[in-house]
Structure 1
Amino acid sequence: MIKKGNYIIYVDEFGDHGTQNIDAGYPIFVLSFCCFKVEEYIHNSVSKIQDFKIKYYNHDQVILHEHHIRKQKGDFSFLRTDQALRENFLNDLNELIVNINFEIYAIVIDKQKLTEKYLSPNNPYNLGMQFGLEIIYKQLVFNNDAGDNICFVFEKRGKKEDDALELEFRRICSGGQRVGWKNFNFDKISFEPVFADKRSNSTGLQLADLTARPIGLQYLRPNQNNRAYDILESKIKRIKVFP
């Protein structure tokens, strides 16, 4: 029987991972890995999110989505109509994130620098995946979680995309695909990809969705006010920028 891991990891992205026609306004790709201790996630994270949703909606079926909250669209359109309500909502959401315990490991791929440095650059998503898995693996081994089975939860994007992502994930973990001169062995921990439907109402994926964009903006505009990043900063254990 596989020993269950002490952690569950939710992954979200922000930005286009293509290297053609790079957007000068956002020339990066961010992959954010949000790591929760399983017991903490079950007994703390989920219940806090449910309490927040019921407070503002009287049900828990709304999906927290950073883009929709920021643009005040869909389930968040009510934020346009009442300034006091909007401020309370955002303050409560910020406090919620502060009080939920998780760690963030983020990979920032600077696509402009990548294409300038390499004639045939690797796919930014694949690069982010490799670096993220390696960093988290080393941290879990350091935490003495060797021998565990750890699940990485991704949001479904489509069968073709999901199949390609799973193939790349397994190639990395088997040592069959990497960038860099040094071999990396994932022999002490079993990593497994899991794909969740956008409508699954996953607490972990919703929290991960709130992290990637602020991290990217902090890299691009470090001197600009970034309240969302300030809230996340204490949870960020490492940000790797490549190249």
Structure 2
Amino acid sequence: MFDKASYTDEIEPAFRRLKFKYFGHDAAVLHEREIRKQAPPFAFLRQDAALREAFMADVSEIMINARFHAYCAVIDKLKHKARYSDPWNPYEIAMQFCMEKLSNRLVVDGQSKRLTHVLFEARGREEDRQLELEFRRVAANDKRWGWRAVDFTRTPLEPLFVPKAANLAGHQLADLIARPLALRAIKPGQPNRAFDIVADRIWDFKVFP
């Protein structure tokens, strides 16, 4: 979740400045896996250790300063499949957990009855269609489960499916924290500096089952 002023005035410009500094343009997409694997367009990180350290330090600086807070869900697919004979789609479970936290926070922030857009990175026409259908079912209170069901009608939510090529700073920030969060869930005792950098802004961290 971002405050719109912080997003437009601080986070987006910070990502743009970093891209111009290292690429000469702002068309590059910061994708955690490609950075970690030093795959194109990040192959230049293999060539110079000092340059690689400077780049990673600048990325860390953005994450340290970025004003956001996150509600995160990690689904252990193997445990989920082993526990339930007809397991639900793990992506949809994670989405509902996060939608519940989002709706509750919007009420606390005085945003009830105001439309909030929820941006998804597009995965494919059919996948997006199915996920939007599930999203709208949840938002209409047609998927109520658990002993403390959330009333989503308090906070209207509208999904938007955006291709990776749109190069949104918010999606790139989310991608950068996803693997550190998964590692914290799978290996909680392992040192995890990337998680530590953003830990104070992870306001809920659900691991299921």
Q: TM-score, with normalisation over the residues of structure 2?
A: 0.96
Alignment of 1:15-54 (within 5 A): 35-54=1-20
Larger % of helix: which?
A: 2
Post-superposition Cα deviations, 1:165-204, rounded to whole Å, max 9, x if no partner, equal 1000000010112432444311221100001112111111
Q: How many residues align?
A: 209
Superposition pairs of residues 14-163 of structure 1, within 5 angstroms: 35-163=1-129
After TM superposition, the structure 1 = structure 2 runs for residues 167-186 of structure 1, keeping only pairs within 5 Å, are: 167-186=133-152
Task: Report the residue type matching 2:3 in the other structure.
Answer: K
Structure 1 residue 117 displacement after superposition: 2.4
Q: 1:19-61 CA distances to partner (integer Å, 9 max, x unpaired)? A: xxxxxxxxxxxxxxxx111111111111111111111112111
Cα distance in 2, alignment partners of residues 182 and 206 from structure 1: 32
Greater shift in the superposed pair: 63-72 or 112-121:
112-121
Q: What is the alpha-carbon distance in structure 1 between the residues aligned to residue 168 and residue 128 of structure 2?
A: 18
CA displacement 1:109-140 (0-9 Å, x = unmatched): 12232223222121111111111101111111
Query: Runs ≥4 in structure 1, deviation > 4 angstroms?
Result: none
- Give the structure with the higher percent strand: 1
Q: For 1:161 and 1:130, locate their aligned partners in 2 and report how far apart those are by CA, in whole Å.
A: 16
Q: TM-score, normalised by structure 1?
A: 0.83
Structure 1: how far apart are the matches of 2:201 and 2:146? 28
Say which of 197, 202, 208 aligns to 2:163: 197
Work out the CA distance in 1 between the residues paired with 2:81 and 2:15: 40
Segments of structure 1 that go 5 or more residues without pairing to the other structure are 1-34
Give me the CA root mean square deviation: 1.2
One-letter identity of the residue aligned with 1:124: P
Overall identity of the aligned pairs, in % = 43
User: Residue 187 of structure 1 aligns to a residue in which SS?
Assistant: helix
Give the conservation status (yes or no) of the 8 Å contact 1:64–1:206. Answer: yes
User: Within 2, Cα distance between the matches of 1:81 and 1:41?
Assistant: 33
